[in-house]
Structures are given as structure tokens and as C-alpha cells.
């Protein structure tokens, strides 16, 4: 049995505790998740390097999971386009879209479905399996098939397991037994979400999606985000909101392009060209 499936000694008598005591116990257990991630920063760094390599090579990053683990992948991948204007992160969920909001029985054990799901993964991509146990048949099947196609293959797991031969790397986050035995939506999921946050955010930072902590590739799709985009341009260039609004519109609603247009007095086309030459980095484009 996996560590995450075992009973937690700290749970003894938990049903007789007060709400405050239960919450305090849960908070203490969550700290284990943070520590587990902190101990694996070197592995996450290597995964980021591979993710950047895949995206710069014209590929993408595929999260593969089932149940809670799969939903974490869906959540992280879904946040990348609006935050960074990128579509290079995708999620493959056992059971398909309907499994995102409800259980699809047997989906995580379907190896054939895993092999079929890997058909959209190419040798230019990175496949990142997410499995608390590290043994989910669907996830491992996708990874095996993806590796046969030449993809970079990684696995995030919350159990200490031996590395599979088809993996290029593994992020092991040993969070131990849950307070509710087997409910890996608790600290195992917390540790996994933290690792995914790090991986995707650090990847996008290295690809030029952030400048001084600002999401310069944000997609301004509503009033709140339009105001945020204008604020980004104002912060970077020192211009007024009226100017920022005008440059944003002229740039095609791309705050990074708008900022460079204002900062270097460039046309939209010249700003786009300079950014491309700088590998998408606003800092390099501004300093060049």
C-alpha cells in the first residue's frame, strides 16, 4: 500500500476533537506539504529547464492525471493563457472533460485510453504525469507512449517509489498518510499544487512572461484586466493612464508590446520584431 493510503497516527480520535482542534491539526499537516516541496527544489528546477526547452523548441507541456491529480493539472494549465498569453500548457484527464467535475469510474485504470491520449504528444513536447501514488495505470500508460514518441517525460508523485525507466525525471513529494486515509486531495494535493505553481510560473518567467513581477503578457479580456494592463504599462514607462490606454489599443491589447512601444518610441511592428529578437524578454528588448 502507498504511504498516502496508510492511516495517519495523528488521526486517532479526530472525530471527537473540537472544530478548532481539527483545523489546527490540518494546518500542522499542511506544513508537511510545504516542507516536502522545499526539499525537492533542485528536481523542480530540472523540470523547469525541460519545460522551457520543450516550449522554445515549438512544443508544449502536457499534464497527465486522474481524479484529484488530474484536476490539479487542468486547473494549472487553464490559468496559463489568461495570465501569460500562452497556450503551451495542456491537460490530459483520465475520463475526459466530464471527469473534471465528476468521477468517471475505472478511468484511472484504463491503459488503452492512456495510449490513445498520448497520440497528441510529439517528440517536441514534455509530458508531466501527476499521480499521488505514482502508480496510476492511465498516467503511466500515457508516459510510456509519450516516451516512445520522443517526448521528455516526468512524474510528480507523493510516494517514495523507484524511478521508471521511461522517465527523464521525477519530483517526489513524500507527504505521508493523510488525516483522512487515502484522501489525497489534502496535503498530497497541496504539495502537488505548490510544485505545479512553481514549475509553470518559473517556466513562463524564463520565457519572458514576467517583468519585475508584472504579468506583462496578461490577456486584457475584461475591465479589470484592461485596467491591470494599463497599470503595467504605466509602471514600466511612467506614462499617464490615458497614454497607457492609447498604447494598449495600438499594440493590439498586448501590454508587453505597448510598454516597449512607449519606452523606445517604436511602431507596433518594430516593437514586435525587437521582442522576437530578444526571445520574448521585455528586459532584454528594453536594454538592447
Q: What is the pLDDT of residues 99-108, one digit of tens each?
A: 998 888 889 9
pLDDT band at 288 (very low <50, low <70, confident <90, very high): confident
**Is it the case that residue 2 has pLDDT exceeding 80?**
no
Under CATH, which architecture does the 3-206 domain have? Answer: 3-Layer(aba) Sandwich (3.40)
Q: How far is CA 109 from CA 57, 112, 126, 150, 187, in A?
A: 32, 9, 22, 24, 23
Q: DSSP secondary-structure letter at 179?
A: S
Which of 159, 181, 132, 189 lies closest to 12 in space, CA to CA?
Answer: 181
- Clarify whether 178 is annotated catalytic: no
Catalytic residue among 108, 145, 230, 272: 108
Q: For residues 232 and 215, what is the distance between their CA atoms, to the nearest angstrom?
A: 8
- Clarify whether 79 is annotated catalytic: yes
Catalytic residue among 29, 35, 56, 79: 79
pLDDT band at 182 (very low <50, low <70, confident <90, very high): confident
Q: What is the pLDDT of residues 109-146, one digit of tens each?
A: 999 999 999 999 999 999 999 999 999 999 999 999 99
Return the pLDDT at 1.
53
Domain parsing of the chain, residue ranges: 3-206, 223-287
Residue 78 Ramachandran class (φ > 0 left, ψ -120 to 50 alpha, else beta): alpha
Chain CA centroid to CA 66, Å? 16
The CATH class for the domain spanning 223-287 reads: mainly alpha
Amino acid at each position: 500500500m502507498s504511504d498516502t493510503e496508510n492511516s495517519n497516527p495523528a488521526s486517532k480520535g479526530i472525530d471527537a476533537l473540537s472544530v478548532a482542534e481539527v483545523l489546527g491539526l490540518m494546518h500542522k499537516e499542511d506544513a508537511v506539504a510545504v516542507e516536502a516541496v522545499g526539499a525537492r527544489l533542485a528536481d523542480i528546477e530540472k523540470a523547469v529547464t525541460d519545460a522551457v526547452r520543450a516550449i522554445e523548441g515549438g512544443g508544449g507541456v502536457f499534464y497527465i492525471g486522474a481524479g484529484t491529480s488530474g484536476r490539479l493539472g487542468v486547473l494549472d494549465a487553464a490559468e496559463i493563457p489568461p495570465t501569460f498569453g500562452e497556450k503551451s500548457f495542456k491537460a490530459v484527464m483520465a475520463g475526459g472533460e466530464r471527469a473534471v467535475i465528476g468521477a468517471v469510474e475505472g478511468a484511472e485504470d484504463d491503459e488503452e485510453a492512456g495510449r490513445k491520449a498520448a497520440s497528441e504528444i510529439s517528440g517536441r513536447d514534455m509530458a508531466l504525469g501527476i499521480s499521488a501514488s505514482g502508480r496510476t495505470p492511465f498516467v503511466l500508460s500515457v508516459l510510456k507512449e509519450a516516451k516512445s514518441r520522443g517526448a521528455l517525460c516526468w512524474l510528480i508523485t507523493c510516494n517514495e517509489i523507484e524511478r521508471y525507466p521511461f522517465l527523464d525525471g521525477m519530483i517526489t513529494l513524500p507527504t505521508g498518510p493523510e488525516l483522512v486515509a487515502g484522501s489525497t486531495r489534502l496535503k498530497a494535493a497541496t504539495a502537488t499544487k505548490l510544485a505545479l505553481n512553481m514549475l509553470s510560473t518559473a517556466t513562463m518567467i524564463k520565457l519572458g512572461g514576467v517583468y519585475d513581477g508584472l504579468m506583462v503578457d496578461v490577456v486584457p479580456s475584461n475591465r479589470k484586466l484592461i485596467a491591470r494592463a494599463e497599470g503595467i504599462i504605466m509602471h514600466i514607462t511612467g506614462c499617464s493612464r490615458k497614454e497607457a490606454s492609447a498604447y494598449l489599443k495600438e499594440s493590439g491589447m498586448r501590454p508587453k508590446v505597448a510598454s516597449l512601444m512607449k519606452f523606445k518610441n517604436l511602431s507596433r511592428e518594430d516593437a514586435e520584431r525587437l521582442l522576437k529578437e530578444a526571445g520574448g524578454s521585455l528586459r532584454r528588448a528594453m536594454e538592447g
